[in-house]
A and B are shown apart, each in its own frame.
Chain A
Amino acid sequence: MANNKGYKRSWKNYLLDPSYQLRFTLTMLAVAAGLMAPLGWWVSQKATTATEVALNQIDEIRCPDVLSAVAPEAVTPSPSPSNAVVEDLLNEDAQEAPVREEAIPEDAVQEEEPVAADSEAPVAEPPAVDGDGDAVDGDGDAVEGEVRRERPDIKVNIDDSEMPVAPKVVVVGKIKERPPTPEEIQKSKVARDACLADVAAQRDSVQGRKSLITLVMLISGVVLLLGLGIYGIKTTHRVAGPLFKVGLYLKKLENNIYDTVYNLRKGDQLVEFYDHFKDAHAGVTAMQKEDRDRLKDAIKLAKEAGLAEKSEELAASIAELERLLVEKEESIVQK
């Protein structure tokens, strides 16, 4: 039993039964790789799709523009007889700089209507009008910042016979817009920068997750293959170890050596199987000892009865018995 203590496993000896251990482990590796490869491909496809969807959505985010200190150029319609007078009257307002002018085509306006200011679009559009004739915005609220002007006293001679269907007198308002202050410009810059940074961060985050999935997939594959490989070799070694030990005793028995059987190392598997082997070894050793005893009995009987002198056949038989007895005696190792 002393030989068993202190015996440790060596990595050099881990492949005790290469055909069994490698066959078992490599089969498991091949199957695991065969199952993981389609799963990995599917995960990769899903990750790519989800990433593309997320990136497309992020790309659609629109950040607000930075306010400009320079007012957009005024759009002035070409003078016409119908609105020239009004233009003159309003020229004094145009002196206040900077202002944005909005002109309304003469065939698309109504009399004395205030024009809604549109800070975004420099090109004028006819303002919406509510039931009372007040200008309203898209939500139906009254437009602020409008400029009401005095209607000029215009006299018109009407000749019924020659009177054309003329457009009504157009009143074109000029809408003033306050230029953004430096603080507002700075604030809009900060807001845009923050928005762009947020978009970039979202893109980085989504792309980072995609890279993480790819990395985890690769690591998982390596871990699975290494884990299965190492654990497979280790597990089969725990089976191959006791079998290797049993194999040594089997070789001894084959060579007619009935040695003492020692216990397994700690952590070895097949303990139950090994117990069966020990019992079997004890059984065949008992058979060997019984044969030895019977041979002794036969030789003793032959000597007592003087059988060797009775015939040459008996003498040869007794000699054979003595040879077998010597073999049996030598085969049983006494410790």
Chain B
Amino acid sequence: MSRNKHGRKISNYLIDKKLQLRYVVFVTALSAVICGTLGFLIWQQADVATNIIREQLADAPGMADEVIRSLKSEDQNLILTMVASGVGLVVVLSLLLVVMTHKVAGPLFKVTLYLDKMRDGRLDTVWPLRKGDMLQSFYKKFSAMHTSMKARHVETNETLKAFVSLAEAAGIEESGDQGHRLEELRKHCEQRTEALS
């Protein structure tokens, strides 16, 4: 059960880059468009107010320079704040998406490791997912299948092992053809026992 305490590592958060980044790019683009549009509109509104004040101060050049400089500075601060808000929104959403998609990609990665073992004819123990992982129902299906399949192979192997033992006890000659075939059955049982351990 010590494997169950395995924590998440930052370097492993992008397990399936294509799967994870696709959604991140979509959300980032959508947020950027919305923030950009709102930012432009709010800047335009502030710019209109600034221009009206500038026109009204045209008769007082000395005072106008100072006021206009202050208004321009305020408008620039507004733009900077909007840009910072947009970037912050995108960064927070992107990080959250990476974490969320990692909770999908993580279980898939784990299942992939078991699948690779199954491909090589190995059915070892399936450990549960980490807390907070998604795809729990899918993983339960996989785990149930794995347990059931392993049980059947164990049953077959135990039956074969029992048969080999009984056949050897029955006095089959080891050097002959039947003894050779019995030996092959024994080797198969040993390999299978190792694969199911």
> What residues of chain A have their CB less than 8 Å away from a CB belonging to chain B?
17, 19-20, 23-24, 27-28, 31-32, 35-36, 39-40, 42-43, 46-47, 50-51, 53-54, 57-58, 60-61, 202, 205-206, 209-210, 212-213, 216-217, 220, 223-224, 227-228, 231-232, 235, 239, 243, 246-247, 250-251, 253-256, 269-270, 272-273, 276-277, 279-284, 286-287, 290-291, 294-295, 297-298, 301-302, 304-305, 307, 310-311, 313-314, 317-318, 320-321, 324, 327-328
Q: Is B185 positioned at the interface, with any CB of A under 8 Å from its CB?
A: yes
A295 touching B160, Cβ below 8 Å: yes
Residues of the A chain whose Cβ atoms lie less than 8 Å from the Cβ of B184 = 297
Question: A317 is contacted by which of B44, B93, B162 (Cβ under 8 Å)?
Answer: B162
Known contacts: A43-B42, A205-B48. The answer to whether A270 contacts B108 by CB under 8 A is: yes
Residues of the A chain whose Cβ atoms lie less than 8 Å from the Cβ of B142 = 250
Q: Is B194 positioned at the interface, with any CB of A under 8 Å from its CB?
A: no
Question: A57 is contacted by which of B53, B148, B172 (Cβ under 8 Å)?
Answer: B53
B48 touching A39, Cβ below 8 Å: no
Known contacts: A220-B37, A310-B170. The answer to whether A206 contacts B48 by CB under 8 A is: yes
The smallest C-beta distance from B6 to any residue of chain A, in angstroms, reads: 20
Question: A220 is contacted by which of B34, B93, B155, B159 (Cβ under 8 Å)?
Answer: B34
Interface of chain A, main secondary structure:
helix
Residues of the A chain whose Cβ atoms lie less than 8 Å from the Cβ of B164 = 298
Q: Is B83 positioned at the interface, with any CB of A under 8 Å from its CB?
A: no
- Give the number of chain B interface residues (Cβ < 8 Å): 74
Q: Is B188 positioned at the interface, with any CB of A under 8 Å from its CB?
A: yes
What are 9 of the A-B contact pairs (CB < 8 Å)? A28-B96, A46-B42, A50-B42, A57-B53, A61-B56, A209-B45, A251-B145, A283-B118, A295-B160
Q: Which 4 A-B pairs have the closest CB atoms?
A: A283-B119, A280-B115, A54-B49, A280-B118
Q: Report Cα–Cα, A40/B182, bound state, in Å.
A: 78
Q: Is B131 positioned at the interface, with any CB of A under 8 Å from its CB?
A: no
A19 touching B159, Cβ below 8 Å: no
B37 touching A216, Cβ below 8 Å: yes
The smallest C-beta distance from A221 to any residue of chain B, in angstroms, reads: 9
A253 touching B156, Cβ below 8 Å: no
A317 touching B166, Cβ below 8 Å: yes
Q: Report Cα–Cα, A302/B181, bound state, in Å.
A: 11
Which residue of chain B has its CB nearest to the CB of A323? Answer: B159
Known contacts: A317-B166, A321-B159. The answer to whether A20 contacts B134 by CB under 8 A is: yes
Which residue of chain B has its CB nearest to the CB of A256? Answer: B152
B104 touching A50, Cβ below 8 Å: no
Residues of the B chain whose Cβ atoms lie less than 8 Å from the Cβ of A286 = 121
**Sample of 11 more A-B contacts, CB < 8 Å, known A50-B42, A54-B45:** A43-B38, A47-B45, A54-B49, A60-B56, A209-B48, A223-B30, A239-B104, A256-B152, A280-B119, A310-B170, A324-B155
Residues of the A chain whose Cβ atoms lie less than 8 Å from the Cβ of B118 = 280-281, 283-284
Q: Is B141 positioned at the interface, with any CB of A under 8 Å from its CB?
A: yes
The smallest C-beta distance from B40 to any residue of chain A, in angstroms, reads: 10
Residues of the A chain whose Cβ atoms lie less than 8 Å from the Cβ of B89 = 35-36, 39
A305 touching B138, Cβ below 8 Å: no
A50 touching B49, Cβ below 8 Å: yes
B163 touching A305, Cβ below 8 Å: no
Q: Is B92 positioned at the interface, with any CB of A under 8 Å from its CB?
A: yes
Known contacts: A54-B52, A305-B172. The answer to whether A224 contacts B30 by CB under 8 A is: yes
Known contacts: A224-B34, A276-B112, A284-B149. The answer to whether A209 contacts B41 by CB under 8 A is: yes
A20 touching B52, Cβ below 8 Å: no
Q: Report Cα–Cα, A80/B85, bound state, in Å.
A: 77
A39 touching B145, Cβ below 8 Å: no
Residues of the A chain whose Cβ atoms lie less than 8 Å from the Cβ of B35 = 39
Q: Report Cα–Cα, A313/B181, bound state, in Å.
A: 20
